[in-house]
Amino acid sequence: MVMVLMGLLGTSPLHLTLQGLRDLGLPSKLVMLLHFCSRYVHVIADEKRRIHEAAILRGYRPGLSKMGLKTAASLVGSLLVKSYDRSMRVNDALTLRGFDGYFLR
């Protein structure tokens, strides 16, 4: 099943795959969530890389010490806050452009 899914995702354009999932009965909100996740995963990964690089430059060394775990939790929290802020900006931009909640009709 995993091999079939990998073949499907690797050979079909994403918008056609998402439209097919919606046509098969997947809820529209879930299809929209998958679309936004696929679209912004590289942005979040880049933000994670920048946060981690800044922590390394400030002397953070990954490990299982109390300070290492505390810093890692702080990095994750910072990433979540930045991702939330970005999602609010994207939502505002879509609302200003008249987005009604549907990409594909």
List the structure tokens of 38: 């696929």
List the structure tokens of 70: 């505390």
| CA dist., res. 56 & res. 72, Å (int) | 11
Compute the residue count for the chain. 105
* pLDDT value for 103: 64
Predicted confidence (pLDDT) at residue 5 exceeds the cutoff of 90 = no
Lowest model confidence (mean pLDDT) among 37-46, 66-75, 96-105: 96-105
| Stated pTM of the model | 0.69
